[in-house]
Chains A and B, each alone.
Chain A
Amino acid sequence: MTPVHRADGVGTAAPEKVTRGPEPTPRPQLPKRTFADNEGVLAKLFLLPTVLGIIGLVAFPFILAIVFSFSDVTTGNPSLDFVGFRQWSTILGSRVFWTAFRNTITFTVISMALIIVIAHILANVLVRDFKGKWLVRFCVLLPWTTPVALAAVSWLWLLNSIFSPIDWVLRWFGLIEANMYYLGRPVLAMGSIIAVHVWRIVPVATVIIMAGHMAIPGEINDAAEIDGAGFWRKLREITIPLTIPISAVAVLFGAILTFADMTVVFILTRGGPTQATQVLSSWAFFKGIEGGDLAQGAAVALFLFPLLLAAAIAILRAVRRSEVM
């Protein structure tokens, strides 16, 4: 090998003959084929706790819920006597139930629509470099850091019919005269619930969509620049289509969080005014735990499952279809 005089001064020399080295490497003992290598056994072992846990602590209670719904069990009378479809017909005939059913769906759909739009805008902002980015990120994440219940308690005051700081600010700007009664009027109360959901879930959705943004190779954005796409066209034709799969994941997560949540309703309005903001999960709680009618509570809660399942399947199918990478 020639000595190569590079401008950076690195030279190489011809290799000398290399012997086996100071001590020859010991040959490994042929290991017995233990369970640690048997993939079939390992797979089953690794999955066993999860499967057992799910069967014992999810499948079993789920079936129990179904059993409850066909019985007359209450907190006073814990015995499970079969009563056929009596609970179901009571529920389906109840006006409150249908309000709760409708509300659960509307709250979720409206919240998710708002969340996705806002999260996309924020994700767009937060992936760029600007002064004070750390602070903005910190602030945007805050709603997600507090337990729902605590945040809801804060909002209880923020929306208070007398002392609401929001009203104070609006009055200060001269936009309103009297207070808004956010939690006292049905439409405003529903809006408040949706607002709190949006406020607390936007951080998580933003982070998820930011992840999606970062997954787009930089060269594709460069190519789009060169190809003459300005900000809006890039957004419409490149960024958004390529983040659809992950946006769908964000929608799914957010929808589950909103749909199945009873905390916000429980703390803000307890379902009021006059049951206007009741949702399925809160109604199930009031009926089942506070009202003692476990059978009805279980039955109401069961309605959550088919709706969630349908939504999940629809979303996941949309994701599969839009997979491009």
Chain B
Amino acid sequence: MVAQNGAERFTGGRIDVTDKEEVDRIRRQRRRRATWGRIALYTIAIIAALMAAGPFIWSAITSFKVDPDLYTKANNPFIYNLPPTLEHWRFLLNDTQFLTFAWNTLWVGFFVVSITLFVGLPAAYALARLDMKWSGPLGIAIFFVYLIPPTLLFIPMTRVVGNFSLLNNTWSLVLIYPTITIPVSVWLLTGFLKGIPKDVEEQALVDGYSRLSAFVRVVIPLAFPGIVAVIVFAFTLTAHEFIYALAFISSTPEKTISIGVPTELIRGDVFFWQSLQAAVVFVALPIALVFNLLLGRFIAGFTMGAVKG
């Protein structure tokens, strides 16, 4: 049987395997297509990598450029037309509060992620395992809270924070950011926990542990990929958050990176461009490295969470 359409291109029909010429032709064609496929793959990969990383490459280069080099329209932005300098990095790290901002972001992130896990894991467990009548609707309600974004609540929220006397205090972020991270984390974790088979837990119950004990000793270790996904996601949300921080905090030492860099390194009309780019690189690289290490686990956690959620 020859291919139905008889044309040059083999489209998946039957061929006569005993026809040697036909077989050879298909084999050649397949090799050719595989090669073109490979070329397309690499092309897309390279273009994507360049477009995604391009701005960062530019940032890294620029952070070492001297002013005359940078502020000349005709100069190639990707090479050093004049010798590079460490001046702007020095400025960033010594003469601004950048390190304070970074430190603030870190410890706020730490506390927010901890609170998220401490509050969110049990909640997710309750929704996934301890089946009560109101579990379903409550789960949906919690998720829908995620649909009330900070850009909606920031005005009344400022008043609430004021009532806690936390205005202009970094701790206000520790208090409020969980409202952003917990709903989505609960949703992810619930889905993830539903995917864990019950028998290991039940074994623990039979072996004499209470529900609470089984949860702590058995479920939490098993939920590790989901927990990693939540940690990554929650930290990202915290570090990126802008409007609450902008609305609550005005004095420099209390600021996080997200608002500190744009507001402090831009004084009126003066932009400290090179230092700004140094800040971008400083923040992006370590986070990117950590992300890449955790990506496998993150995908595992997210798949389970999203597919079953």
Contacts and interface: CB of A to CB of B under 8 A. Distances in A.
- The answer on direct contact between A and B (beta carbons under 8 Å) is yes
Contact of A150 (B13, B132, B183, B283): B283
B258 to A, nearest CB: 4
Contacts of A34: 210
A11 B150 CA distance: 68
A37 B152 contact: no
A149 interface: yes
A112 interface: no
Contact of B212 (A36, A141, A215, A231): A36
Given A61-B153, A215-B307, A53 B178 contact: yes
Contact of A145 (B59, B276, B284): B284
A230 B303 contact: no
A246 B307 contact: yes
Contacts, number: 293
Nearest to A207: B299
A53 B179 contact: yes
Contact of A140 (B38, B52, B247, B298): B52
Interface residues of B, number: 101
Q: Interface residue tally of chain A, by bracket?
A: 35 or more
A185 interface: no
A58 B158 CA distance: 12
A222 interface: no
A130 B123 CA distance: 41
A22 B52 CA distance: 65
Given A141-B291, A211-B299, A54 B145 contact: yes
B279 interface: yes
Interface stretch (A13-21, A85-93, A283-291): A283-291
A163 B71 contact: yes
Interface string A106-143: 00000000000000011001101010111111111111
A157 interface: yes
A34 B213 CA distance: 12
B68 interface: no
B243 A262 contact: yes
A210 interface: yes
A301 B151 contact: yes
A299 to B, nearest CB: 10
A271 interface: no
B269 to A, nearest CB: 13
B149 A256 contact: yes
A262 B151 contact: yes
A303 to B, nearest CB: 9
A230 B13 CA distance: 11
Contacts of B157: 57, 61
A135 B144 contact: no
Interface string A50-63: 11011001101110
Interface of A: 28, 31, 34, 36-37, 39-40, 42-43, 45-47, 49-51, 53-54, 57-58, 60-62, 64-65, 67-68, 121-122, 125-126, 128, 130, 132-158, 162-163, 165, 168, 199, 202-203, 207-208, 210-212, 214-215, 228-231, 233, 245-246, 249, 256, 259-263, 266-267, 280-281, 284-285, 288-289, 294, 297-298, 301-302, 304-305, 308-309, 312, 325
